[in-house]
């Protein structure tokens, strides 16, 4: 069993897409091992996305990610990282395949509803950013 981090971003929470996103995970056979809602500070958003700190979209992205509550989850499945990325769709919703979360709901390359870890090493560090071992069931 593999674990990955999922975030329903502030646009997804504001637009009442939490249930829709979780339904897609459950229907894909993904188990939710941990979940909570929180509101990142700007500093916390900058720390989470530190890998992108040299990118031109870093300031805007971290402002957006700290603009309202998010839902963070640990997803568990065989191949959870890729399964979640497949359900999410491409970063830019204009390139995302029909039936993916970003194709169906994203409105903008930045405001794209969901985050998902992209590799085993990032999954480990991103899960540890939000959850302790005791919080995973």
Cα 136–chain centre separation: 17
Contacts of 38 (CB under 8 A, 6+ apart): 69, 70, 72, 130
Q: At its nearest, how many Å lie between Mg ion and the CB of residue 134?
A: 27
- What's the CA gap between 12 and 16, in Å, rounded? 6
Q: Pattern 82-121, binding to Mg ion, x per CB under 5 A?
A: ------------------------------------x---
In the complex with Mg ion, which residue's Cβ is closer, 86 or 118? Answer: 118
Task: Tell me which residues are annotated as active site.
Answer: 115
Q: Based on CB atoms, which residue is closest to ligand UDP, 33 or 61?
A: 61
Binder of residue 86, out of Mg ion, ligand UDP, none (CB less than 5 to 8 A by kind): none
Helices 80-88, 18-27: axis angle to 10 degrees equals 130
């Amino acid at each position: 069993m593999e674990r990955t981090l999922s975030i329903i971003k502030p646009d997804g929470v504001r637009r009442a897409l939490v249930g829709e996103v979780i339904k897609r995970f459950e229907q894909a056979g993904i188990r939710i091992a941990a979940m909570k809602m929180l509101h990142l500070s700007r500093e916390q958003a900058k720390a989470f996305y530190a890998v992108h700190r040299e990118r031109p979209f870093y300031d805007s992205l971290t402002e957006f990610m700290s603009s309202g509550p998010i839902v963070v989850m640990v997803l568990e499945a065989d191949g959870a990282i890729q399964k979640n990325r497949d359900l999410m769709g491409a970063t830019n919703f204009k390139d995302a395949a029909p039936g993916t979360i970003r194709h169906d709901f994203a409105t903008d390359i930045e405001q794209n509803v969901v985050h998902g870890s992209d590799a085993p090493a990032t999954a480990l560090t991103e899960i540890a950013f939000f959850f302790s071992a005791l919080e995973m069931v």
